[in-house]
Chain A
């Protein structure tokens, strides 16, 4: 059974950097695409970007200048970095497996950006 678990700070200061990690269990990260999604309070889903195990990435054009996704195959993890955050980046951040639809999701982690 494939499981994903997000981890990282729940509070980030405005203008700082948000960093989250997703640990994959029950599947090899060398397969499929792995993606990040976020959901601001009371709002819809926003796709952030994805990475393939080979290292190829693609980001939402609206976030591209601030986003980076990396993978650590030795730990079966992939990570999200979002720079120059503002309170508008406050959201629940999800990681998911892309096959290519998102069939397995993590539980999500709430990140608040304080002003």
Chain B
């Protein structure tokens, strides 16, 4: 099975800071990688799919990059409303399955 890891597990940054979260897959998954945001007490929300495509309606300060086994989610200017947990997810078809990473908790300093 393909395993997903994320780093850091948590971070605290100031408003306006550039924040980067890294996701690694134990095997290559091409660009079959999505990112989700889950605000406290809320339903997860799709931010990025196909590693770098921003979901409709997502603010442009979010961006995704990467291919194969290493991916990043970047928030170019952290805002108070960005506080929450961020999860990466692989959706490779071979084998099929949708494994989530363990999550990264983002807080405001």
**A→B interface (CB under 8 Å):** 35, 44-47, 50, 58, 60-61, 94, 98, 100-103, 105-108
Contacts and interface: CB of A to CB of B under 8 A. Distances in A.
B49 interface: yes
Given A47-B98, A47-B99, A101 B87 contact: no
Interface residues on B, range: 20 to 34
Given A44-B102, A50-B98, A108 B43 contact: yes
Which 9 A-B pairs have CB atoms at the shortest separation, nearest pair first? Answer: A101-B49, A101-B34, A47-B98, A45-B100, A44-B103, A100-B91, A58-B96, A105-B43, A103-B46
Nearest to B33: A101
Given A45-B87, A103-B55, A98 B103 contact: no
B97 interface: yes
A3 to B, nearest CB: 12
A23 B45 CA distance: 19
